Amino acid sequence: MEMGTLYRLSLPLLFLLTAVCLVESATLEFSETDYDFQLNREGQVFFSLSHPLNDSAVLSFEFDTHTVISPIPDYTVEPGVTKCNITLHGLNAGRCVISVNSTSTELENLENAFIRITVVHNNALVTLSAVIGWIYFAAWSVSFYPQIVENFRRKSVIGLNFDFLSLNLTGFIAYAVFNVCVFWIPVIQDEYFEKHPYGVLPVAINDVFFALHAIFATLVTILQCFIYERGSQTVSRPCVGFLVVAWAFAIITLCVAIFGKLAWLQYLYFFSYIKLVITLIKYMPQVYMNFKRKSTDGWSIGNILLDFTGGSLSILQMFLMSYNNDDWSAIFGNPTKFGLGMFSVLFDVLFIVQHYILYRGKPAYEPIVGNSDSSGYA
């Protein structure tokens, strides 16, 4: 074959390869990641392309479960179109994730194109659940202050157990470390989404605020213990031993994570385990102290009433959401979270019984000069 002929044949092929290389890939993005629909109602889902396609592209939709939303037929995106929408119909209450696939070479990064769908029985219950959430968030946030006011009024912290305060501070620090790191540190978020590609971060801004505010309020209460009369009350040796073990565990696992032998996300989960254990035991010293003194004087019942309100509403919200989403995994599939809520409420009930029934009308505790009891009991 002559060189001129070879040149004439290869020139169009060269132009074709150049044109293919110059075609810019488009990305598909949904207007929202999370959509809520009411049962047996239709709704619109909107998505757009970063720039128009040169050729038609057929999109297919995949479901992680086929019982929530009616099947979606393949969708054809025509050349020159950048904004599209599809209609969804809720079949059953529940949740599902819908991802997108296409054979078009002009579309890229479709693994990031997905939506989470929630179908509920009634939208009014969604609003009610949100209102309940803000009410119990406010109740829990305010619950620290009756004890602070009580201490200020009495100019004394006798009757307030120091073990409870110490455990509470460590628990909220652990809770804050987990929330702050997951909410603000991109590396931690990347690890989370690597394990849960279609998941939602388990921490919201109100969780961060609550944890930091709880540390502040607890530190104010501890400061009052240094200022006001406290008798001979101290932190008990078993409590000190537990705290030493907890913080030693946190420091050792931190060193392991720094040397790359432990994922940072897993390290943060260890902090959540510390918070879990403390939630189980922190009320026990105060219950025993009230029992031994046969009095709740110095222990604010306002704190307990607000905590009981918050805990009860939190459990009520869990039931409402489980019914509305037809998903009882929040209760029966996650017994730890539900059990902790019930455990705290039961302790609140015990404190209420101590204050209003068992030790009602008991005379206020008067410190005895020279009393060597480390708990400050009469």
Residues 114-126: pLDDT tens digits? 999 889 888 899 8
Average pLDDT over residues 149-157: 95
Q: Which residue has the higher pLDDT, 8 or 350?
A: 350
165-169 long-range CB contacts below 8 Å, 24 or more apart?
Answer: 165/218, 165/221, 165/222, 165/225, 166/235, 166/239, 166/240, 166/243, 167/239, 167/242, 167/243, 167/278, 167/281, 167/282, 167/285, 168/214, 168/218, 168/278, 168/282, 169/215, 169/218, 169/219, 169/222
Residue that terminates a domain, selected from 65, 98, 120: 120
User: Percent of the chain having pLDDT more than 70?
Assistant: 87
pLDDT value at 7 more than 80? no
Same domain, 155 and 293: yes
* pLDDT at residue 358, rounded to an integer: 92
Q: In sequence order, what are the residues at sequence separation of 6 or more whose Cβ sits closer than 8 angstroms to the Cβ of residue 200?
A: 34, 116
Q: Are strands 75-77 and 94-102 parallel, antiparallel or unpaired?
A: unpaired
Residue that terminates a domain, selected from 56, 89, 120: 120
Same domain, 79 and 205: no
Residues 244-285: pLDDT tens digits? 999 999 999 999 999 989 999 999 999 988 988 998 899 999
- Check if the beta carbon of residue 328 is closer than 8 Å to that of residue 322: yes
Residue that terminates a domain, selected from 104, 120, 136: 120
pLDDT value at 291 more than 60? yes
Is residue 365 assigned to a domain?
A: no
Same domain, 216 and 253: yes
Is residue 369 assigned to a domain?
A: no
pLDDT value at 139 more than 80? yes
Q: How many structural domains comprise the chain?
A: 2
Q: If residue 83 lies in a helix (H) or strand (E), which one and from where to where? A: strand 83-89
pLDDT value at 101 more than 50? yes
Same domain, 198 and 216: yes
Is residue 370 assigned to a domain?
A: no
* pLDDT at residue 19, rounded to an integer: 44
pLDDT value at 177 more than 60? yes
CATH code for the domain in which residue 66 is found:
2.60.40.2030
* pLDDT at residue 250, rounded to an integer: 93
Enter the tokens of residue 342: 């019930």
Average pLDDT, the chain: 86
Same domain, 162 and 245: yes
Show the domain range for 339.
Answer: 123-358
